[in-house]
A = this chain, B = another copy of it.
Amino acid sequence: MSEHIVSSYDRDLEALGRRIAEMGGIAEKMLGEAMDALANFDTELAHRVVATDTRLDALQREIEESAILTIARRQPLAVDLRECIAAMRIAADLERVGDLAKSIAKRTVKILAEARVPRAIIGLKTMAEVASLQLKDVLDAYAQRDVERAKAVWANDVELDALEDSVFRDLLTFMMEDPRNISFCTHLLFCSKNIERIGDHTTNVAETIVYLVTGESMPTERPKGGRPATPSDDTKEQTP
Contact = CB atoms under 8 A, between A and B. Distances in A.
Interface in A158-204: 172, 175-176, 179, 182-183, 186-187, 189-190, 193-194
Interface in A5-61: 54, 57, 60-61
Interface size grouping (class) on chain A:
35 or more
Chain multiplicity (copies): 2
A165 B220 CA distance: 34
A34 to B, nearest CB: 13
A99 interface: yes
A180 to B, nearest CB: 9
Interface string A216-240: 0000100000000111011111101
20 contacts: A61-B240, A64-B240, A68-B81, A71-B71, A72-B72, A72-B75, A72-B76, A92-B92, A99-B238, A103-B236, A106-B229, A106-B234, A172-B186, A175-B175, A175-B179, A176-B179, A179-B179, A187-B231, A189-B189, A193-B193
